[in-house]
Amino acid sequence: MRMIDLTMPIWEGAGYGEILPFTNSSVRLSEYVYYDKHGLRMTRMKLDGETGSPFMVPHQRMPFDPTPLQPDPKFSWTLDQIPLDRLILRDTVVLDIRAPEQHEIAVDEMDQAIKSADFRSGDEVLIRTGWGTRERAYELGLEYYKRTPSIHFDAAALLASKMDEMGSGIFMTDCGLVNPPRVQGNNWFRGESPIIPHPKPWPSAEARERVLDLGAHRHGSPHPSSYGALIRKSIAGCKCLVDCDKISKPRVKMIILPLLIKQGGASPCRFIAVEE
Amino acid sequence: MNFVDLTMPLNHHWMPDEGLPTAIKFFLGPKDHQEKGMVVGSDSGTSLALPSLFAEFRKTTRLDQVPVDKLFLRPAVVAHINKGDEKEISKSDVEEAFNDARPAKGDAFMISTGWGDKPHPQGEGNEYILGSPHFSFEAARILAQALHDNENDLLLTDTAVLGLPKSHIIPEWFSMFPAPSAESAEAHMYLHLYDSEKAGKDFAVEIEFARAGITTVRKLIQCGRIKSRRIKLMVSPLNIVRGVASTCRVVAVEEGR
């Protein structure tokens, strides 16, 4: 048995917490008990539900707002309601779609990957582009998310349909963003009028102004959400996994452990692939 | 295969472990809140501490360096120490528990006292911490040595604390009335005046385990639901770069059940 950690690490200033206006806010790690003064260390951690490699359920805004991201989701569990046998040692098919930076996975690529894979009933799904690595995330910072491969809406819709048919529950990918950056970062870091220099995320003045402009916390792109297509058919959507090329087999068992947040909707999560 | 979740839920309404001046209040912020997301302490809820928590051992492994097989599907043995109303775990208690449990070389060692099976999350006040079973220094010394000698470098327990910080924190902090809350001005001032000499006494038990190279996990719940002597554990802390402690998810796997 071989285990591979596919979890994006957490550190102060990580790019995933700096790139978007709302959905993922900055990581702040503050020491308040110190080695030099107290002889030990303790840390106050300001995180986000989307910090690191996140695990996000359809009712992502819980416990404060029960409205799902998309209407009529197939699953409605919050983090503390998901049975452990839906998280641990889950049979998972690896869908290989090699993607260079900034590539939007197209519907024919998704179709080919699905047809080529040994996709069995009840499998969870890992979309592997090979692009997402720990070293690249450390090196590129914000650029990691500007350059990440992503999934075009049509490809996401096809995969969502297939997941529904196969009884899959969890969608995972090593893309930094599921939605194309042009959609997710519309008129923030991409689009016709990106903001330069790049502003801080919520609660920055620029993020607050964006709510005034758009009337809500949304990306404001006219294009549909790839993530939205997938989350309607999923227990959870999971992005920003790393080092998936260390998996040597087309099928693995996944251990997926988000924090146990009572009535929570999203959490940083550990992702461990188990090869038998 | 049977899974048992041993994790204390992170509850934004109430956590039973926030009474000490060293605690951080678990907080969830909705999307319009200045602190959107969550605030969590490195020892909020069920939590893991590496030996590098302490300055003396800061050159040892950090969270993002822990080999995955030390934490996931880790073979473990369950020992029972039921103290009833007497709270201090003695040298003879740990010797008996270790001998009865018969850990194999390299096992994780879990101690179930029954404290984590009580309904603390619904309780009020600081009873969860102040009333918790805890190791005497001598018990910690003996157990740490036995675990070290048998390569059992992961100790888990359902107690709120390993050692009770009764040299300074308990008499000083809990003598204030009404009791101040975590992250209050009083807590900041207390920590400002707290130093390594005081911490060395209050955390002597924890330091003894760290000295033996043992990673510890405490504040487990529902250990009483485990029926097997041998299990596998999944211990899932946050993957924090250069981190030394973290809230974590812990799940027991009972095979053949």
Residue A53 near residue A227, CB atoms below 8 Å: no
A154-207 pLDDT, tens digit each:
999 999 999 999 999 999 999 999 999 999 888 999 988 899 999 999 999 999
Those residues whose C-beta lies under 8 Å from the C-beta of residue A57, and which sit 6 or more positions away, are: A75, A77, A78, A79, A82, A235, A236, A265, A266
- pLDDT at residue B155, as a whole number: 98
Q: With CB atoms and an 8 Å threshold, state whether A88 touches B7.
A: no
- pLDDT at residue A214, as a whole number: 86
- pLDDT at residue A201, as a whole number: 94
Q: A3 touching B, CB under 8 A?
A: yes
**Cis ω on the peptide bond leading into residue B103 (within 30° of 0)?**
no
Q: Is residue A217 part of a domain?
A: yes
| Pairwise CA distance, residues A150 & A175, whole Å | 6
Which domains occur in chain B, in start order? Answer: 2-254 (3.50.30.50)
| Nearest in space to A82 (alpha carbons), one of A265, A238, A268, A240 | A265
Q: A141 touching B, CB under 8 A?
A: no
Between A7 and B119, name the one with better pLDDT. Answer: A7
Q: Which of B9, B58, B251 sits opposite A88 (nearest CB)?
A: B251
Domain span at residue A211 reads 2-8+50-275
Domain count across chain A = 1
Q: Is residue A17 part of a domain?
A: no
Q: How far is CA A101 from CA A38, A111, A236, A244, A246, in A?
A: 46, 20, 25, 16, 19
Q: With CB atoms and an 8 Å threshold, state whether A261 touches B199.
A: no
Chain B positions in Cβ-Cβ contact with residue A4 (cut-off 8 Å): 68
pLDDT exceeds cutoff 80 at B256: no
What are phi and psi for residue A252, nearest 5 degrees? -140, 170
Those residues whose C-beta lies under 8 Å from the C-beta of residue B54, and which sit 6 or more positions away, are: A39, A40, B203, B206, B207, B210
| Pairwise CA distance, residues B36 & A47, whole Å | 9
Give A80's DSSP letter.
G
Chain B positions in Cβ-Cβ contact with residue A1 (cut-off 8 Å): 73
The yes/no answer to whether this complex scores an ipTM above 0.90 is yes
- pLDDT at residue A192, as a whole number: 84
Q: Is residue A152 part of a domain?
A: yes
The rounded mean pLDDT for chain B is 94
Q: Average pLDDT in the B183-197 region?
A: 96
Q: A85 touching B, CB under 8 A?
A: yes
pLDDT exceeds cutoff 80 at B251: yes
In chain B, % of residues over pLDDT 90:
88
| Pairwise CA distance, residues B208 & B142, whole Å | 10
A112-166 pLDDT, tens digit each:
999 999 999 999 999 999 999 999 999 999 999 999 999 999 999 999 999 999 9
Total residue length of chain B:
257
Structure token digits, residue B180: 């101040």
| Pairwise CA distance, residues B151 & B174, whole Å | 38
Interface contacts (A, B; CB < 8 Å) = 164
Q: Is residue A68 part of a domain?
A: yes
Q: Average pLDDT in the B164-176 region?
A: 94
In chain B, % of residues over pLDDT 70:
97
B82-122 pLDDT, tens digit each:
976 678 999 999 999 999 999 999 999 999 999 999 987 66
Q: How far is CA B149 from CA B50, B153, B157, in A?
A: 18, 9, 19
What are phi and psi for residue B256, nearest 5 degrees? 75, 15
Q: Is residue A25 part of a domain?
A: no
B8-19 pLDDT, tens digit each:
999 999 899 999
CATH number, domain containing residue A125: 3.50.30.50
What is the nearest CA distance from B15 to chain A, expressed in angstroms?
A: 11
A218-250 pLDDT, tens digit each:
777 888 999 999 999 999 999 999 999 999 999
Those residues whose C-beta lies under 8 Å from the C-beta of residue B96, and which sit 6 or more positions away, are: none
Q: Is residue A40 part of a domain?
A: no
- pLDDT at residue B123, as a whole number: 66
Q: Is residue A39 part of a domain?
A: no
Q: Is residue A114 part of a domain?
A: yes
